[in-house]
Structure formats: C-alpha cells, structure tokens
Structure 1
Amino acid sequence: MQKSECHGGVQLRNRVTGNCDQRISSSTQIKNRTTFQRSKSSSSTSSPESTRKHPRPSDKLNPKTINPFGEQSRAPSAFAAIYSKGGIPCRLVHGSVKHRLQWECPPENLPFDPLLITLAEGLRETKHPYTFVSKEGFRELLLVQGAADKAVPLLPRLIPVLKAALAHSDDEVFERGLNALVQLSVVVGPSLNDHLKHLLTSLSKRLRDKKFKEPITSALQKLEQHGGSGSLIIIKAKIPTYCSICC
C-alpha cells in the first residue's frame, strides 16, 4: 500500500515537473521568437531601402526646397550680366590713388543708344565694380562732343531709369542718381523741362532728410540754371519752399 502511494506520488511529481518544463520551454521559444522579430523589425527600419520604400507622411508636408532668397539662387542684375558679357565697352583700371575707366574705343565714337541707358540702369547697382563703372561711364559719355544731339532723343527712356535711381532706398544709389540728373541737365538744358516733373517728387521726399537738404538744393539750382525760367515754374510747383537762384 505504501509502495503504491509512493509510486503515485512520483508519477504526480513527474507530471508536474514535465508540465513546468513544457511551460518554460514554450516561454523560451516565445521570447526567442519575439527577440528575432524585434531584431528583424529594427534592421528593416534602419535599412535605407526600407526608408525609401516607406516615406514618412510628414515628408509630403515638408518637401525639400531651395531657398529662393539665397545668395546662390539670385540671378545677376541686367547691368551685371551685360558687363560680364562684355556689353559695356570699357573696363575698370585700378590705380594706386584712384580708379579710372579704360574704353575699348574713344567714347565719342560710341552710339548712345542703348549704352547711355544701360549705364543709367547701372546707377542702381550696389556692388563694386558696377557702381563705379556705371556712374563714371555715364559721366564720361556725356562729356563727349555732340553729346546733346545724342542724348536728347533718349530722354523719354532715360527719365524712368533715373527716376528709379532717385526713388531707391539706398542713399548711395540716390546720390548717384542725383549727380547723373545734374550731369544730364548740363548737356540737354531746357530739353529736360518736359520730363522734370516726373523726377521732382523723389527729391521733395528726400528733402525731409537733413543730410540731403544741401545736395538737393544745389542740384535744383543747377537744374534751374541750365533749364531756364521754364524749369523754375516746374520746380516751384513741386517744391514750393525752393528759393530761386535769381532771388
């Protein structure tokens, strides 16, 4: 009787032990399977091919773009492009004291159309050497013999360009435009009067700035001097505070 009970107890313990071993074995298999799946998932996620095949939803909302205002994406200005292609028949010569222009041929032999207009457009440049080439080229071209006959027919196209320079927010651009206007007035004289009203608005606005009061007043006096009595009427209509040189 005792042997039977003992034998039954042994069988029960073996059965329990076997069940326990099976549970441990099953648990180990599940753990190994889970670890393998995680490893597989991790490797597939880190794979470049997998990343390319499954783009993130945010990629559609944030596409890669080039900054349109970046320095490299900025197209050169019209004057800079023309100058770089040799469209301006002069080059800057750097001197130890000051710079100068070297013309490919005598300026008096050059056609003013479209060279004078192109140089006037360059007055709005803000980078070297374009700033110097445009202002000096404009000045030297107007000094040649017969400049008036060549410049007067171009006034309807020159005035909008000078107006843009005078309305520019950059102070140096404005000063170059103001000097160019005076230089043009010296050459064309009263022929400028018909276009003068289009330029005086910008001068009137700049007069509010104390640092420009003197140079603008001086420019207006020269416009009156070379434009005659007709220019005075136009100037006074736009700038009532202007005092004539005849006073």
Structure 2
Amino acid sequence: MTVPPVLPPCVPINCGKDFRQSLKKPSPNYPHGQKARKPRLVPAFTIQAMQKNTRVIPPKKSGLFDLKPLKPSMFRRSYSRGEFPVTIEFTNFGKRLSWKVPIEKLDFHHYLPMFFDGMAEAAYPYSFIVEQGINDLVSKGSYKILPVVPQLIIPIKSALATKRPSVICHVLKCIQMIVTGSDRVGEALVPYYRQILPVLNLFKNKNVNMGEGIDHSTSRGENVGDLIEDTLQILERYGGPDAFINIKYMIPTYESCVLN
C-alpha cells in the first residue's frame, strides 16, 4: 500500500502574497511586453474620457466666425448682360455713375433690390456701382423707397451672412443711406430686426486693439465695431418708440443713445 506524498503546509499569507506577485508579472505571450501602450483616443464629454490610458479628442470648432464663400450674385449677371442703365464716368473730380435714364422714372421695385443683391460683391467695379447707385437712388427717389423695404431684407440678410468685414461695412453704409435719406424707412425696418441684427451682435465688439498705434480704418469707415455702433444708433433714432426695445432684445450689450 503506497502512501500519498505529503504536501507542504500552505500558509495563507504566503500563498496570497505569491499569487499577487504573479499577477504583476507580464505574460510571456504578451506581444508588447513591458512597453507602455499608446493612449486610446476617446471623444470629449463622455464616460470614456474618465478611463485610464485614454486621450480626449478636443471638440471641433464651432466655426461661428468662419467666412462664407461668395456666390455670383444676380446683380453681377444682370450687369454683365447690360441690363442696368448706368455706366461709370471718369471726371476731373473722380468717378461717378452716369444714368442713361432719369432716376425718377426707374422702377424701384426692380432696380433697388437688384442693387442690394450686389452688396455681397467685394470686387471692383461692382462694389463701387452698388454703393454709388444706392446713394443716387436714395438722394433722387427717396419717396419710392418705403414700399420696397420688404424686398430688401433677404439681400441684406444674405450679404451679412457672408461674415466678411468688408461686405458687412458695405451693407451697413447702405442701411444708413436708406434710413437717413428716406422718411419712415427706419420704422419699417423694426419688424425685420430679427433677420438683420444677429450678425451685428457677433461683430459688435470686433475692434482691433493697436495699443498706441493709429487705426486708419476708423477714418475710412472700415472699422466693423464702430460702424455697427453708429448704425444701431441711427436705427434707434429713426426707428420710433419701439426701436430700442427691439434692438436690446437682439443685442443685449447695446446702450441707448437717446435715453442716456
């Protein structure tokens, strides 16, 4: 009769210690051995971001101030086909527009929205023709502008949506022309503040901090922040009693120039 071999006594403390030490040793079949693994890329604001050996992928930029591409406008196509009764005339005093027909006889419901559609054009000669053309239409046919105001909102909104500083300055100058040069146009624009003012709220504080330097864009009327402030003050003065509360609703940082 064979006696089974006697196993050495197992001490619980030693057995547990040896077992824990064996867990810390890497497996011989593990491909990476002692090399540290690369962190795993995980999206931000998730539970995975709290796990070990992970690296959070930064969220994408909102692109709020990204410039939108410029598309050929109806104004450019119409001008290229020669549908506008206007040409550029060079005089001793500079450039001006020469109208082939009296401005008072023009159909403002057709031509004024077309000029406003060209405000997104930043290249010469379209920018010059648009700004000077609107100035001529306002100065000689101001009484015809009020019925056309609803047709101008979509071109204004589309031009501001490009978020290009040069285009925004161009649009603001044209808005100032029709508001100051025509009666009751400022009041007619109040219901459309929700379409016009959101972009102005983004660029209201868009000023260049030059320290002790001189910002020449201010004297040329090309500083976006200053031009927006001037435009809002004009809209408040000419917009009637409801203008300020509607401007304040869309641009909370605006302070009244009339009440103060």
Q: TM-score range by the shorter chain?
A: 0.5 to 0.7
User: Which has the larger share of strand?
Assistant: 2
Identify if the C-alpha distance between structure 1 residues 76 and 165 changes in structure 2 by more than 3 Å, giving closer, same or farther: closer
Measure the CA separation in 2 of the matches of 1:176 and 1:227. Answer: 21
- 2:190–2:239 Cα contact (<8 Å) kept: yes
Percent of aligned pairs with the same amino acid = 31
Structure 1: distance between partners of 2:239 and 2:250: 15
Shift of 1:155: 2.0
Indicate conservation of the 8 Å contact 2:115/2:134, yes or no. yes
Deviation at 1:103, TM superposition (A): 0.4
Provide the secondary structure at the position in 2 that maps to 1:99: strand
- Give structure 2 stretches of 5+ with no counterpart: 1-70, 208-222
Partner Cα separation in structure 2 for residue 169 and residue 241 of structure 1: 20
* SS state at 1:229 partner: coil
1:110-165 CA-to-partner distances (Å, cap 9, x unmatched) read 110210000001111122111111111012101224x24x2222222211101112
Q: What's 1:179 paired with?
A: 173
Runs of 4+ in 1 over 3 A off after TM superposition: none
TM-score, normalized by length of structure 1? Answer: 0.65
1:238 pairs with one of 250, 254, 259: 250
2:216 is equivalent to residue 220 of structure 1: no
Q: CA separation in 2, counterparts of 1:128 and 1:96?
A: 20
SS in 1 for 2:149: helix
Query: CA 1:162/1:77 → structure 2, altered by over 3 Å: closer, same or farther?
Result: closer
| Counterpart residue number, 1:193 | 190
RMSD: 1.8
CA distance in 2, matches of 1:201, 1:169: 11
Distance, in Å, in 2 between the alignment partners of 1:103 and 1:189 is 27
Alpha-carbon shift at residue 183 of structure 1 (Å): 1.6
CA shift for structure 1 position 97:
4.6
1:83 to 79, 82, 86: 79
* Residues 88-120 of structure 1: CA deviation (Å, up to 9, x unaligned): 111111345521000011211211021000000
Larger relative CO (CA 8 A, sep 6+): 1 or 2? 2
Partner of 1:109: 105
Conservation of the 8 A alpha-carbon contact between 1:193 and 1:227: yes
- Residue equivalent to 2:163: 169
What's the TM-score, normalizing by structure 2? 0.61
Number of equivalenced pairs: 171
2:135 pairs with 1:139? yes
